[in-house]
Amino acid sequence: MKVKYQITTKLIKKDWKQRPGGNRIPRYAVAHDTGNPNSSAQQNHKYFNSRQLEASAHVFIDDKQILMIIPLQEKAWHVRSDVSDANEWAIGVELCYGPSIDFNKAYSRYVWFFAYLCEMYQWDPARAIKGHFQLDPKRRTDPLNCFHQYDKTFPFFIEDVKYELKKFVVNQNEFKELVTAEEKLYKVQIGAFTSRENAENLSRKAKSAGFAVHIDHS
């Protein structure tokens, strides 16, 4: 399966409070926007990696890159703990926006990454993607801060993710057809397990690093 966008990993230091650690399998994802117009993914990494903070997120997305600053299996402080269990179980994804950022390119990456998460964890987008505004309606309106400036709605965003997710399924079918074709195909195997769970754990790590993955069994 061809990966549409590269996922860049540039982790913040473990000793910051905003990277609390942990080792979990995420259950859902939360859509945020930065609320800081014109700040890029790299600028957000620099900010979160420079001082002790009370907040964080796993991934920042702008018009140039998808930047992971906290591993997806670790916790991050992206929603108030008294209104949601998102810090414990969800992946926080921030959309960068503003006049200096090409919204269409950033939004395309944002949609794709949520579809990527849904494919990786076998989530239903309608159930597994929450807006920050839904979890903390009295205090937060993101990602609607950004969406409304570009005539997007949250339901429209979910439909975009569903559509992108369908492309993953099509690409998987094309991959299966390719590996069973008569012509030569050179494959690289990175693991073999008797446990399906172990295979899926390695698959998630490979996907998080930006590699296309196919699990086969005999």
Task: Report the phi/psi class of residue 208: left, alpha or beta, with left for phi > 0 and alpha for psi in -120 to 50.
Answer: alpha
Alpha helices in 102-153 (DSSP H): 103-121, 125-128, 132-135, 144-147
Q: What is the DSSP-derived secondary structure letter of residue 64?
A: S
Q: Tokens representing 167?
A: 């492309």
Taking only the tens of pLDDT, the chain with its 218 residues reads 457 899 999 999 999 999 999 999 999 999 999 999 999 999 999 999 999 999 999 999 999 999 999 999 999 999 999 999 999 999 999 999 999 999 999 999 999 999 999 999 999 999 999 999 999 999 999 999 999 999 999 999 999 999 999 987 766 655 555 445 555 555 566 777 666 667 777 777 666 555 666 666 54
